[in-house]
Amino acid sequence: MTKQTSDAIERVLLDEEKITARVRELAAQINTDYADVDALALIGVLKGSFIFMADLARHLTVPHRVDFIALSSYNRNTVSTGAVRLIMDTRFSVAGRHVLIVEDIVDTGYTLDYLLRTFRARQPASLRTSVFLSKPARRQVEVPIDYLGFEIPDVWVVGYGLDYADRFRTLPYIGALKREVYEK
Ligand code: PRP
């Protein structure tokens, strides 16, 4: 880790060991729940989910395939309006498949709500969500999370896929960013 990085982190919220243990638990639960399913479709939301997806998927024993989508949200840096747009779609059709959406974080809930509405309309055989982090204090719209890693307080977190201005995504832990980094 560079000095610049360590200077930006206030504290470690979740260390590597805790994350690994929890991801294994989630995968075990998914393996049990989908034991009778012959092909689970994991759909990760870029960019934030790429590390959680990689770790989760590698602990799955149920047959699965991996795909990604990309979204664009308007006014993300000011007050979230909930306006979300799909800018890259799945490569396979989700109709009739068992779909599990994989997200790094649910904040206001607008993104996941949009995704659930979008994918439900495509008539999958089933539709569930796996989310690494949730900030319940920020919720504007209630969304179902079937497999949740951790609930966290309303602080700006980075690492394990999450960024600040596209930095810090590959930190192996979840760290709270110092206020001065995002308020300057
Ligand atoms: C983050 C995260 C979710 C969304 C959650 O994405 O990955 O998709 O915000 O926020 P919400 O619950 O308030 O809708 P972001 O726009 O930061 O993009 P990124 O994953 O590419 O960093």
Q: pLDDT per residue over 109-138, tens digit each?
A: 999 999 999 999 999 999 999 999 999 999
CA of 106 relative to ligand 1 center, distance in Å: 7
Question: Which residues touch 97 (CB under 8 Å, ≥6 apart)?
Answer: 39, 41, 124, 125
At 163 the three-state DSSP class reads coil
Active site residue 89: no
**Beta strands 147-151 and 126-134, pairing class:** parallel
Task: Map out the domains of the chain with their CATH numbers.
Answer: 16-152 (3.40.50.2020)
Q: What is the residue with the minimal CA distance to atom 2 of ligand 1? A: 105
Q: pLDDT per residue over 12-59, tens digit each?
A: 999 999 999 999 999 999 999 999 999 999 999 999 999 999 999 999
CA of 35 relative to ligand 1 center, distance in Å: 30
Q: What is the residue with the minimal CA distance to atom 15 of ligand 1? A: 48
Q: Is the pTM of this model over 0.85?
A: yes
Q: Max alpha carbon distance in the chain (Å)?
A: 52
